Chain A
């Protein structure tokens, strides 16, 4: 889906884009999602969530820089989606992450910033966040251990047929072509 809406940018830009720069604002954005969904009388937050899923489905959220590929960007969006909305993959996701991978075999920004070995130095919201995703502090600690030997702790390799899929989505006008795709 191109272009993205201002409503999407307003909510995505309210912290989900800031894990590198300001992890605490990212953590707050993730932890307040249940409240935002519950108090959404104008429907704008659900619209944001629905559009988020569409961008993952269509590979239409453009990479931040020329050195980021669309695949890595999409994989990162899947991580942010998990951090925000939980273990249910976004509707229409062509490459859903196996549920059992989260934590032990896949680390997200929330896991890397908010969850520490010791609950007392983790984000106060971490126990509830973990519980809502069926995870424990031990699961994330196991993922951090595994990451030392993993090829990539937060991303999968691009699947067979990936570039062809991108070309098709581009041809259908659902996304803009990015450098390095031909």
Chain B
């Protein structure tokens, strides 16, 4: 439900991240990491991003979303596993003292921009 706000943040961060020497470049792709536990629906985010990016350097950019699995580690027995369903007890010792190593990401990894200096740049 807050995907529009997230889309706007992505556009802001991506625009800021265009290096000064490439000012005016268009952003072709945004690589995003979204943990499976994050409260974000990728389809909804793509939809909002498409609307919000109009008339920005990201107009028409592709949002490449990598979903990150929920990986847990048991602090008691040190077992590490991937959580597929909403069950957060250790599958080895049944303990509840676990930490999540991944799955909460909502991170921009990188952006891909047009580059006129590239060897085989298209028009």
Do A and B truly interact? no
Where the two chains meet, the residues of B that have a C-beta atom closer than 8 Å to any C-beta of A are none
